[in-house]
């Protein structure tokens, strides 16, 4: 009971390379339980399953770690872990998600299943971290992330996090030089500029494939895109409360229908 209980999830699926990296580090820190999707769920955001059945099966893929694969989304996985798998038992001391195979910087945090698993943990009042590697290559090297994953996790376990906050941690792709360190950042002002490629299936029926480019409008040096570009680990504190508090007095003052 002196070792923390760590819930591990992700959005790339229970067989992904990144989750093996995360589990291996978490085993050094505490007792680990895994509940992760049974198939890739990238880009699912904070979706939950309400119109279909959910399935949960034990998976023996990790040595000496209790693990379950779930047919649902990353948010479903955290809910299932807390309210079914661990119901009536000890609850996690921390939720960690990832390591995602690809960047979750800037606006991507809104679409990220990896971060939604972490944010679901924060909603439940548990310190939570989402880890991502900014490398989409099939054989991406995760080895340089392990030291920092351990450092950041131990720091959160020791110091806690503000209520309602989850950390969005991104790592640059591995380079010849070592990582320069950690930067606590804000989310960069950047977005995807989408387009839709029109295609036709063998039956001549039209379908669409979303394409586009990522555009960074941010010239600052205090954001996650700058940190990654300069070989730092970026740490962005994120909130699930999306209220634009500064806009409430503006609307109260300007809207005629409120007077």
pLDDT in tens, 12-70: 999 999 999 999 999 999 999 999 999 999 889 999 999 999 999 999 999 899 999 99
For the stretch 43-47, contacts whose Cβ atoms lie closer than 8 Å and that sit 24 or more positions apart, written own/partner, are: 43/111, 43/112, 43/113, 44/11, 44/73, 44/74, 44/75, 44/113, 44/116, 45/110, 45/111, 45/112, 45/113, 45/116, 46/75, 46/116, 46/119, 46/120, 47/73, 47/75, 47/116
Rg (CA), the chain: 19
Two tokens, residue 170: 């991104």
Which pLDDT score is estimated for 138?
86
Which pLDDT score is estimated for 1?
59
d(CA 113, CA 103): 12
Two tokens, residue 67: 């693990």
Which pLDDT score is estimated for 87?
95
d(CA 66, CA 68): 7
225 and 106 Cβ atoms separated by less than 8 Å: yes
Which pLDDT score is estimated for 30?
97
pLDDT in tens, 209-249: 999 899 999 999 999 999 999 999 999 999 999 999 999 99
Question: Which segments are annotated as binding site for a divalent metal cation?
Answer: 11-12, 42, 100
> In 10 A of CB 158, how many CB atoms?
7
Domains of the chain, earliest start first: 5-189+219-258 (3.40.1210.10)
Question: Which segments are annotated as binding site?
Answer: 11-12, 42, 100
Closest CA to 105 of 206, 211, 191, 21: 191
What's the gap between Cα 213 and its chain centre? Answer: 21
Q: What is the mean pLDDT of residues 156-167?
A: 97
Using the structure block, give the residue that is written with the tokens 């944010």: 119
């Amino acid at each position: 009971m002196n070792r923390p209980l760590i819930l591990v999830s992700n959005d790339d699926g229970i067989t992904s390379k990144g989750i093996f990296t995360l589990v291996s580090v978490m085993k050094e820190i505490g007792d680990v339980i895994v509940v992760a999707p049974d198939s890739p769920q990238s880009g699912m955001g904070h979706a939950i399953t309400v119109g279909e059945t959910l399935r949960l099966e034990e998976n023996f893929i990790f040595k000496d770690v209790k693990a379950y694969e779930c047919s649902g989304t990353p948010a479903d996985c955290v809910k299932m872990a807390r309210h079914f798998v661990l119901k009536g038992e000890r609850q996690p001391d921390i939720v960690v998600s990832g390591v995602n195979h690809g960047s979750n910087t800037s606006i991507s945090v809104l679409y990220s299943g990896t971060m939604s698993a972490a944010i679901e943990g924060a909603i439940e009042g548990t310190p939570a971290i989402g880890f991502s590697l900014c490398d989409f290559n099939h054989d991406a090297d995760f080895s340089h992330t392990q030291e920092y994953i351990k450092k950041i996790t131990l720091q959160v376990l020791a110091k806690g996090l503000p209520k309602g906050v989850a950390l969005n941690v991104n790592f640059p792709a591995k380079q010849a030089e070592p990582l320069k360190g950690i930067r606590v950042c804000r989310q960069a002002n950047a977005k995807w500029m989408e387009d839709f490629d029109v295609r036709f299936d063998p039956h001549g029926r039209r379908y669409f494939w979303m394409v586009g480019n990522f555009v960074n409008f941010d010239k600052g040096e205090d954001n996650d895109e700058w940190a990654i570009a300069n070989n730092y680990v970026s740490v962005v504190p994120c909130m699930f409360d999306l209220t634009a508090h500064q806009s409430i007095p503006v609307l109260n003052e300007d809207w005629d229908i409120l007077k």
